[in-house]
A = this chain, B = another copy of it.
Amino acid sequence: MAKVIIIGAGLAGSLLSLFLAKRGIETEVYEARGDMRRQEMSAGRSINLALSDRGIAALKQVGMDEYMLGEAVPMLGRMIHSVDGTTKLLPYSGRKGEYINSVSRGGLNIALINEADKYSESKFFFNQKCVDFDCETGEAILEGGKRTKGDTVIATDGAGSAVRQAMMNGCVSRFNYEQKFLEHGYKELHIPPKSERSAVADGLTSSSENSVKNSNFSDAKLQPPATAGGSDFAMEKNALHIWARREFLMIALPNFDGSFTCTLFLAFEGENSFESIVRTASRSDLLNNNSEISNNYLKPSATADGSDRLLEFFETNFPDAVPLMPTLVEDFFTNPTGNLGTVKCLPWNIGGKALLLGDSAHAMVPFYGQGMNCAFEDCRVLDSLIEKHGTENWKTVFEEYTLQRKPNADAICDLAEENFFEMRDAVADPVFQKKRELETLLEQTFPDYFSKYSMVTFREDLPYAVAKEKGNAQDKLLMEICANVENVGEIDLNEVLEKVKAIG
């Protein structure tokens, strides 16, 4: 029986082990952290994620799609929050049934591990950190010196991959590598369910407990919170909320328990920045062996001064959110500040001995909500190539995989970066809002028209690289059209469709 060593039991690693187990391939999955089914998740990773069609397609292949969607909160569009408190929903698509889904990272990960665990082929080893790779023997080297070997190693150990580090340090000739960072970091904040808010205000519970509660659930399907006489969500439940303020940005995704997880994206330094609020130096031990890309913390300093600056900043920029965030000060000064980086590299494989998959091969910034979806698509594509070539020649599988995936990984990494600027700047721009209106109209009118966002998010049949090329050309055209009209209603949709088709 073929045997594959998987490094990391995160989302990619646990789904991959399930894919392989279903093919009768033995897997040993080595995870640096403890078993998340038995302990709280550590902070510093996003609490919820947007699951969309590419990810769903992969889950469907292993029979997990309906289960996971049952625990998801659909998000039908972007809810834009202006400084004056008014809101406006920009739908993700003009078609019914095209939406994205807010899922719990912990819940999804646990469900995948549990499902893989049902197969005797799949074995998980926790608290076993891979620190290096021996490119002569093909062994993964674990902390403490233990070595492990199978027919091959697949590294799903994230942005700070130890296997990629070994490739950089000599396993691969002429290893092409790039890491680049935005000047912005991110910090997660919390909006509790309505029913909890008064309790928090009364000092009966604290937000840090809340923020892990929903990732600490058992295998049993979560039930939506019982809310007598209406929703327990403090804002519109079925939307991704955006406070776009040009130099910075806050978003909020609904959780299944009625809370929202907010993420503030703010420059590290400068006028409006984490530094300007916290006024403490930042520490970094970034991208060390096997560490997360986002392990850079700003030291907490919830001084009276710091709190004042923070509250003033929020009152000025996110006034409608402040009343919903009773633990804002505590959250801000307790939660870590993460980095936002892109990693690209090539090759992805060491002959047939090892392959990088998911973030280890292509870490991206979160602004297209595609990091997990891309990693899941990676698993699906790899599985199809194992189907095609069998398990006798991993080098062939890995080379064909790279040929297929590299242009698409590059494309989604680029799109994710570009979308940062779109979300931060353009979403609040009237021309951009008209463009989104026009796109929605086009999608409502023409079933075979897809916006760039739709191609990336809802068209799992379309490679990212194609979505990027077509989408960017289309965006340029539509922005030009919208810059020259007062009202989207004036536009001749048939004429626009012709022009779109002419792009190719």
Residues of chain A touching chain B, judged by Cβ–Cβ distance below 8 Å, are 168-170, 172-181, 183, 268, 282, 284-288, 296, 339, 341
Residues in B with CB closer than 8 Å to A175 are 179, 181, 286-287
Residue in contact with A339 in the complex, picked from B174, B183, B284, CB distance below 8 Å: B174
CA distance A169 to B289 in the complex (A): 8
Interface contact B288-A173, CB-CB below 8 Å: no
Residues in B with CB closer than 8 Å to A183 are 174
Main secondary structure of the interface of A (DSSP, over half): mixed
Given A168-B287, A170-B284, A175-B286, list of 12 further CB < 8 A pairs?
Answer: A170-B285, A170-B286, A172-B284, A173-B282, A173-B296, A174-B183, A174-B284, A175-B181, A175-B287, A176-B180, A177-B180, A178-B179
Residue in contact with A179 in the complex, picked from B169, B177, B285, B296, CB distance below 8 Å: B177
Distance from A168 Cβ to chain B, minimum over Cβ atoms (Å): 7
CA distance A417 to B446 in the complex (A): 46
Taking the full assembly, how many copies of this chain does it contain?
2
Residue in contact with A174 in the complex, picked from B169, B172, B174, B341, CB distance below 8 Å: B341
Q: Which residue, of A173, A175, A178, has the highest number of chain B Cβ atoms within 10 A?
A: A173
Interface contact A179-B176, CB-CB below 8 Å: yes
Residues in B with CB closer than 8 Å to A285 are 170
Residues in B with CB closer than 8 Å to A180 are 176-178
CA distance A285 to B181 in the complex (A): 27
Distance from A187 Cβ to chain B, minimum over Cβ atoms (Å): 15
Knowing A173-B282, A173-B284, the reply to whether A178 touches B178 (Cβ < 8 A) is yes
Distance from A264 Cβ to chain B, minimum over Cβ atoms (Å): 17
Interface contact A296-B174, CB-CB below 8 Å: yes
CA distance A179 to B339 in the complex (A): 21
Residues in B with CB closer than 8 Å to A174 are 181, 183, 268, 284, 286, 296, 339, 341
**What are 22 A-B interface contacts by the 8 Å CB criterion?**
A168-B287, A169-B288, A170-B284, A170-B285, A170-B287, A172-B284, A173-B268, A173-B286, A173-B339, A174-B181, A174-B183, A174-B284, A174-B296, A174-B341, A175-B179, A175-B181, A175-B287, A176-B179, A176-B180, A177-B177, A178-B178, A178-B180
Residues in B with CB closer than 8 Å to A268 are 173-174
Kindly report which residue of chain B lies nearest to residue A283, judged by CB atoms. B173
CA distance A287 to B174 in the complex (A): 9
Residues in B with CB closer than 8 Å to A173 are 268, 282, 284, 286, 296, 339
